[in-house]
Every structure is written in C-alpha cells, then in structure tokens.
Amino acid sequence: MAAEVDFHEEAAAEFKEAFRWYFERSTAIAAEFADEVIRAVENIAEAPHRWPAQIAGTRKFVMHRFPFLIIYREAASGIQILAVAHAKRRPGYWRSRL
C-alpha cells in the first residue's frame, strides 16, 4: 500500500514554478514534466526506501528526463516532499525545511 504524500509548501511552489517555466516554452513539454513528477511521487510512495539516504533522514529521487531532484523524507503521517529542486542550482538550499 502506498504511503500518504504531502508536499512542503515551498516544494509545491517549486513544482508550480518549474511547470510554468516549461509551459511558457511548450505546453507538451510542461505536460511531460508534470507526468514525470507524478510518476516519481507515485514511485516514492510505493517504495520510499528504494532511493539513497541523504542527510538528516532525507532521500533523493533523480528525475530522468528533466534536471530535477525530488527530496523527501518519511514522517509519521507518510512521505513529505521537501523540495522539487533543480539539480544544477543552489545545492542543499532546502535544508532549512528539515
């Protein structure tokens, strides 16, 4: 059974901003980006331990087609998505959300 997934407010804003950026360039690419994020979150919810452990109990899912990382952790209520982070920009900026 898949765990409940909750997006940190700032992670949700990051997803929306990245989607908007892709949408301004191509609606088709934006849809593909959204689909890949949705699949990533579903995979994380199904098997959260599958991806490598990081600092402070977080884990990192590397997206395949887009240069983004999904940073998450397990919480008592399920999975908390801490960041939808661009892989090449400001590494570790999301640590203040722990």
Report the pLDDT value the prediction gives residue 18, as an integer from 0 to 100.
97
Whether the Cβ atoms of residue 3 and residue 79 lie closer than 8 Å to each other: yes
Span 24-52, pLDDT tens digits: 999 999 999 999 999 999 999 999 999 98
Whether the Cβ atoms of residue 60 and residue 89 lie closer than 8 Å to each other: no
Q: Where in the chain are the domains?
A: 5-89
Confidence of residue 96 (pLDDT cuts 50, 70, 90): low
Confidence of residue 97 (pLDDT cuts 50, 70, 90): confident
Q: How does DSSP classify residue 19? A: H
Q: Strands 78-86, 68-75: parallel, antiparallel or unpaired by DSSP?
A: antiparallel
pTM, two decimals, is 0.88
24-57 in b/e form (b: 16+ CB < 10 A) is: eeeeeebeebeebbeebbeebbeebeebeeeeee
Topology of the domain comprising 5-89: YaeB-like fold (3.30.2310)
Alpha-carbon span 34 to 38, nearest angstrom: 6
